[in-house]
Amino acid sequence: MIRTRLLAWSSTYILLISLIALVGCSPFPSNSDAPATPITPLALPSRTTTPTTPSTPTTSTSSADWTTYHRDNARTGYLPNAPDPHQLTRNWNMHLDGAVYAEPLVVNGHVIVATEGDSLYSLDARTGQVQWNTNVGVPVPLSSLPCGNIDPLGITGTPVYDPATRLIFAVAEVRGPAHVLVGIDVNTGQVRVRRVADPAGIEVTPHQQRAALALSGGMVYIAYGGLDGDCGNYHGWVVASRTDGQGPLLTYQVPTPREGGIWAASGPAIDANGHHLCRRRQW
């Protein structure tokens, strides 16, 4: 099993491969009668840097892949034949453009890392060499938020990989502010899907997308809570988007006057019958 820990040295960030721990998720209702949200276009630039040496196209996943938070939709964190944690060694370091709060993924020998700089990286798992680096927006500075503890605020929730479309899905908080869902080609780093993922009519500023994304039935599930400090008029939300980025968003709001944020880093868990389980917070 793998986890990353980030060390900040002189405002640079060094990625280290280490262990992961098991995190649970509590029951949460999944049916929604909230109105659907139309697609909202957002004209923000994305920037992809690719190496001069072409990579081998990725078309499937292997048993060693880690495509979602804690490896599967049940969030078990179980990996058969995992290495002995007492014999782990550091193979490489990599300087990134921001802090890492999201759990890295592993897809066909590449480590997928999301940063608070609103960037995603594909790194060779053996050498750390950058396959591609895609920036999807400008992160939100803490000074523009009513509270919080991440500066700047970019991609915080763990992405998810969809082998059917070969897209990595992540939600980036960008200046505006807005939460933007992107689907990035795992082979090239090109942005194939981009849409605003905020429910219609919400006050965006006090909402934070901390929870890991989940994938089920051709839909990407996104959960929202509040910022550290519980400031502003935020609610817990679950939003679902088709993986092709088309059609209306499906939304569910926690039935509380305020708060009820879905904040757990593990995000929604999904059982074999497609039932969604989340953890919410309410004072």
pLDDT of residue 47: 73
pLDDT of residue 60: 58
pLDDT of residue 202: 95
In a domain, 119, yes or no: yes
pLDDT of residue 20: 31
Calculate ∠ Cα 134-121-92, nearest 5°.
150
In a domain, 171, yes or no: yes
Partnered with residue 249 across adjacent β-strands are 37
For residues 211 and 26, give the distance between their C-alpha atoms in angstroms, rounded to a whole number. Answer: 13
In a domain, 283, yes or no: no
pLDDT of residue 1: 37
- For residue 7, give both structure tokens: 């060390």
- What total number of domains does the chain contain? 1
Calculate ∠ Cα 243-172-15, nearest 5°.
105
In a domain, 138, yes or no: yes
In a domain, 282, yes or no: no
Strands across the sheet with 160-162, in order? 160-162, 167-174, 178-185, 191-196
pLDDT of residue 49: 78
Average pLDDT per 10 consecutive residues for the chain, totaling 283 residues = 35 36 33 35 58 51 88 93 89 96 98 99 98 99 98 99 99 98 99 98 97 97 96 96 98 92 92 72 47
Residue span of the structural domain in which 11 resides: 3-277
Contact 88, 18 (CB under 8 A): yes
User: For position 137, which CATH number holds?
Assistant: 2.140.10.10
In a domain, 233, yes or no: yes
In a domain, 212, yes or no: yes
